[in-house]
Structure 1
Amino acid sequence: MFNSSLFAQASAEIDSERQAELLHLLKQDCGSCHGLTMKGGLGPALLPENLTGKPVSFLTYTILEGRPGTAMPPWKFLLKPEEAEWLAGVLVRGELR
């Protein structure tokens, strides 16, 4: 289950300018494989209903470390752990705008 208090904490640590940059990254870079509307493509769909049962910690780890043997690259060289957690929270909560 999603822990909204952790998401709120991660949000508080990331300023609004960086949040806007992260949303752009999510739409453009992640969207290039997962679909611009996150409905899937080369990579699986990243809509809340597709992420049910996947903990934010699992999604955060996947963002940071990638998925060996797949096209999913690690983003740990560009994102801080709290930024990856924030992105995972955005996806789980369906807050991509």
Structure 2
Amino acid sequence: MVSRTGRHLSGLALAAAAVNFAAAGASATGITPSRQAELTRLVRQDCGSCHGMTLKGGLGRPLLPADLVGKSTEALAAVVLDGIPGTPMPPWRGLLSEDEALWIVNRLTGGLDR
């Protein structure tokens, strides 16, 4: 029963992350809904391959809102864009704009209006 609940909670965490990503509009950022969908897939597939498919961690650290508390949006976006030298965290600057990195970070931290 406990392991079944654990799987259910993992599914809920993934669903909550999907809601955070899907709920954001393009008006504040200028990022079109179609690009938002692409960014959501990037997080689920590429980020999830290291940070865990439910973003609870794996090779990379967890990316759930509670794990990102106290870290500035700008600092997290810099990690997304420039990676972390000497670790498996790659830079995404060649594939993402600063606005897109900020959009991703805001979704990960639970900020839907930034």
TM-score, normalization: structure 1?
Answer: 0.85
RMSD: 2.1
Q: Which structure exhibits the higher relative contact order, with contacts defined as CA atoms closer than 8 Å and separated by 6 or more residues?
A: 1
Query: Which of 67, 72, 87 is the matching residue for 2:104?
Result: 87
| Distance apart, 1:8 and its partner CA | 7.4
User: How many residue pairs end up in the alignment?
Assistant: 89
Q: Which runs of 5+ in 1 are unaligned?
A: 1-6
Highest Rg: 1 or 2? 2
TM-score, normalization: structure 2?
Answer: 0.73
2:92 is aligned with 1:56? no
Task: Give the fraction of aligned pairs with identical amino acids, expressed as a percent.
Answer: 49
Aligned to 1:17: 34
Aligned to 2:63: 46
| Distance apart, 1:9 and its partner CA | 8.0
For the residues of structure 1 that align with 2:48 and 2:100, how far apart are their CA atoms?
17
Runs of 4+ in 1 over 6 A off after TM superposition: 7-10
2:93 is aligned with 1:76? yes
